[in-house]
């Protein structure tokens, strides 16, 4: 194993290496023992006359930064060691890798995760020539059963009221006390990873922005970062500053929306009304300054599309001052509302120790003492110049996740004002060069929910050979199962909303 050190944007180190199966297990164990974590795990099929077979890809974060390891797997027996004993989050990723590509973790959980009988057990959609046999009907999904006097199950979903995306939650309860929760996700399977293969590198940015709509900026920036690596393109400084401004405004919009929804789930409709008003004001300001309420197509390979005027930027700075005062007033109301605090404090607790074991990240992780924040740990321009203040709580309950959102709003407003005040002049985009076939790149951005990761391999003629997007919800859905234990069933919607995990980003 000889890691090669590269810099995705000229700043944040990324190591790439190959390993055999035994070396992979040892490397993961060393990374975990040193406090590192699993970023993502995915598989691809090798093609061509030289080396048919499969590749397992494992992305790790350690004290240096990102380390992406490739493991060659045999064409006839594509197996690798089960990593879930080291990184529990690997379990569902491994199951997804089998459903999509047909590579299996030795002695791992063999239950399907994404297939849901939508295709046959011998069909693997992300192979270059998947077998097209008709879907079969498998055995009922083997939920873990809880036995004992008075224990019963409450199945919820996958179809929910309203427009919420599908997900199944199987509660084992005594009375209203939750003994166990088991989730089953992946019901839609939109086919995003396969759809990337029909697009050019330029077109892929629009699809990446739509992986999970509330994280459009995070995913489009991560995708464009990867695309700029494979085309050896460096965006101009003004584009970097605008990307960060878009990202912080996406963070603000989601935190405002969540705080209103959390107030509503605690029976405080006033909070929903006020935070909805503030979010609407922010989205209207987006439309005025950037031409769109939600910034789906603002980031493009090589730079950005909108270039706000000096007048619009001055108005955004004034808006930040007004928003800060309004949120500060609402925070006092939330903190001093006895009914809300009774619902928030102690509900859905996730201890620092358990969060560390499960690899919880993003706002849920920082509410449980996990320090990961790429804006501080592996900053891209302009975050290298902004001095981002890390927000951290250790209580791990709904109240802590609410507090992290409030603190991050104030920090994002500070960052927005600093970005607007130091915005460099100049062009907003650089035209990307042509990519070399088989060139690979990686994008890694701290979105509002947590880090969005994109691995990209170019094909011939600036096409996409493989694109793997990874949403932070993969890490945090299992933690929700633990956080709800010991709580009552009526508190689940509140606890669930305090995590606010993405179905769409998980269900590619």
Among 106, 129, 150, the domain-final residue is 106
Cis peptide before 475 (omega within 30 of 0): no
The reply to whether 129 falls in a domain is: no
Report the relative pairing of strands 177-184 and 168-174 from DSSP bridges: antiparallel
Kindly state whether residues 225 and 86 are assigned to the same domain: no
CA dihedral (181, 61, 204, 186) in degrees, to 10, reads: -10
Kindly state whether residues 254 and 371 are assigned to the same domain: yes
The reply to whether 182 falls in a domain is: no
Report the relative pairing of strands 451-458 and 440-446 from DSSP bridges: antiparallel
- 256-292 pLDDT, tens digit per residue, is 999 999 999 999 999 999 999 999 999 999 999 999 9
Kindly state whether residues 444 and 331 are assigned to the same domain: yes
Task: Give which of 36, 133, 3 is closest to 356, Cα–Cα.
Answer: 36
Kindly state whether residues 225 and 340 are assigned to the same domain: yes
Kindly state whether residues 206 and 102 are assigned to the same domain: no
Count other C-beta atoms under 10 Å from residue 165's C-beta: 15
Q: Which run of H or of E encompasses 478?
A: helix 473-483
Kindly state whether residues 87 and 217 are assigned to the same domain: no
DSSP 8-state assignment for residue 134: P
User: Residue 283's pLDDT is what?
Assistant: 98
CATH of the domain at 42: 3.30.460.80
User: Residue 383's pLDDT is what?
Assistant: 96
**Which tokens go with 373?**
């924040």
User: Residue 131's pLDDT is what?
Assistant: 62
The phi, psi pair for 271, rounded to 5°, reads -65, -40
User: Residue 9's pLDDT is what?
Assistant: 45
Among 47, 81, 106, the domain-final residue is 106
The reply to whether 136 falls in a domain is: no
Report whether 350 contacts 364 (CB < 8 A): yes
Per DSSP (E only), the strands in 410-462 are 440-446, 451-458
User: Residue 121's pLDDT is what?
Assistant: 86
3-state secondary structure of 363: helix
State pTM to two decimals: 0.95
The reply to whether 172 falls in a domain is: no
Count other C-beta atoms under 10 Å from residue 307's C-beta: 14
Place of tokens 């810099």: 7
Report whether 231 contacts 201 (CB < 8 A): yes
Report the greatest alpha carbon distance in the chain: 71
Q: What is the torsional sign of CA 116, 122, 125, 131?
A: negative
The phi, psi pair for 55, rounded to 5°, reads -125, 135
CA dist 38 → 27, 86, 104 (Å)? 11, 9, 18
Containing domain of residue 359, as a range?
A: 196-499
CATH of the domain at 416: 1.10.645.10
Among 66, 87, 106, the domain-final residue is 106
User: Residue 165's pLDDT is what?
Assistant: 87
Kindly state whether residues 93 and 210 are assigned to the same domain: no
Report whether 468 contacts 455 (CB < 8 A): yes
DSSP 8-state assignment for residue 214: G
Low-confidence ranges of the chain (pLDDT < 50): 1-11, 49
CA distance 229 to 66: 14
The reply to whether 446 falls in a domain is: yes
Secondary structure (DSSP) of 217-257: HHHHHHHHHHHHHHTT----HHHHHHHHHHHHHHHHHHHHH
Report whether 7 contacts 380 (CB < 8 A): no
Task: Give which of 376, 394, 388, 406 is closest to 255, Cα–Cα.
Answer: 406
CA distance 491 to 449: 21
The reply to whether 126 falls in a domain is: no
DSSP 8-state assignment for residue 362: H
3-state secondary structure of 180: strand
Secondary structure (DSSP) of 371-422: ---HHHHSPPTTGGGT-PPPP--SS-SHHHHHHHHHHHHHHHHHHHHHHHHT
Cα-to-chain-centroid distance, residue 129: 29
CA distance 166 to 480: 16
User: Residue 140's pLDDT is what?
Assistant: 86
The reply to whether 97 falls in a domain is: yes
User: How many domains does the chain fold into?
Assistant: 2
| Residue 152, beta-bridge partner list | 173
The reply to whether 217 falls in a domain is: yes
Cα-to-chain-centroid distance, residue 497: 16
- 294-337 pLDDT, tens digit per residue, is 999 999 999 999 999 999 999 999 999 999 999 999 999 999 99
Kindly state whether residues 99 and 201 are assigned to the same domain: no
User: Residue 7's pLDDT is what?
Assistant: 45
**Which tokens go with 249?**
């405004």
Report whether 261 contacts 495 (CB < 8 A): no
* Beta sheet of 440-446, edge-to-edge order: 440-446, 451-458, 464-470
User: Residue 48's pLDDT is what?
Assistant: 58
């Amino acid at each position: 194993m000889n890691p090669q050190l590269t810099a995705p944007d000229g700043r944040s180190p990324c190591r790439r290496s190959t390993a055999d199966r035994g070396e992979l297990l040892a490397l993961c164990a060393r990374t975990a023992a040193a406090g590192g974590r699993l970023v993502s795990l995915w598989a691809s099929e090798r093609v061509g006359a030289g080396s048919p077979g499969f590749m397992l890809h494992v992305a790790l974060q350690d004290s240096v930064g990102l380390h992406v390891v490739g493991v060659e797997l045999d064409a006839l027996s594509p197996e690798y060691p089960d990593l879930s004993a080291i990184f529990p989050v690997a379990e569902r990723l491994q199951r997804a890798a089998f459903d999509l590509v047909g590579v299996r973790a030795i002695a791992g959980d063999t239950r399907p995760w994404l297939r849901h009988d939508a295709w046959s057990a011998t069909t693997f959609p992300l192979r270059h020539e998947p077998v097209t046999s008709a879907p079969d009907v498998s055995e009922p999904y083997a939920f873990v059963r809880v036995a004992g006097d008075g224990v019963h199950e409450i199945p919820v979903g996958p179809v929910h009221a309203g427009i919420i995306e599908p997900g199944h939650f199987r509660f084992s309860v005594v009375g209203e006390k939750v003994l166990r929760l088991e989730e089953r996700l992946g019901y839609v399977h939109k086919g995003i990873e396969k759809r990337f293969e029909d697009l050019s590198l330029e077109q892929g940015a629009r699809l990446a922005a739509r992986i999970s709509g509330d994280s459009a900026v995070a995913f489009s920036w991560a995708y464009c970062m990867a695309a700029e690596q494979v085309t050896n393109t460096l965006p101009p400084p003004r584009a970097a500053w605008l990307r960060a401004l878009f990202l912080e405004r996406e963070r603000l919009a989601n935190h405002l929306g969540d705080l209103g929804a959390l107030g509503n789930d605690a029976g405080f409709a006033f909070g929903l009304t006020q935070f909805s008003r503030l979010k609407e004001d922010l989205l209207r300001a987006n439309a005025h300054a950037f031409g769109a309420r939600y910034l789906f197509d603002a980031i493009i390979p090589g730079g950005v599309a909108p270039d706000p005027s000096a007048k619009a930027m001055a108005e955004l700075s004034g808006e930040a001052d007004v928003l800060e005062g309004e949120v500060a007033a609402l925070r006092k109301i939330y903190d001093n509302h006895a009914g809300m605090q009774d619902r928030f404090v102690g509900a859905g607790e996730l201890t620092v120790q358990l969060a560390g074991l499960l690899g919880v990240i993003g706002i849920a992780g920082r509410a449980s003492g996990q320090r990961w924040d790429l804006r501080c740990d592996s900053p891209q321009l302009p975050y290298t110049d902004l001095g981002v203040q890390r927000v951290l709580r250790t209580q791990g309950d709904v109240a802590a996740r609410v507090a992290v959102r409030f603190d991050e709003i104030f920090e994002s407003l500070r960052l927005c004002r600093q970005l607007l005040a130091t915005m460099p002049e100049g062009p907003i985009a650089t035209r990307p060069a042509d990519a070399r076939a088989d060139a690979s790149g990686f994008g890694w951005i701290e979105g509002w929910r947590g880090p969005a990761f994109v691995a990209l391999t170019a094909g011939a003629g600036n096409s996409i050979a493989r694109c793997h997007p990874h949403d932070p919800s993969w890490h945090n859905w299992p933690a929700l199962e633990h956080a709800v234990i010991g709580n009552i069933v009526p508190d689940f919607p509140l606890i669930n909303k305090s995590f606010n995990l993405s179905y769409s980003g998980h269900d590619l």
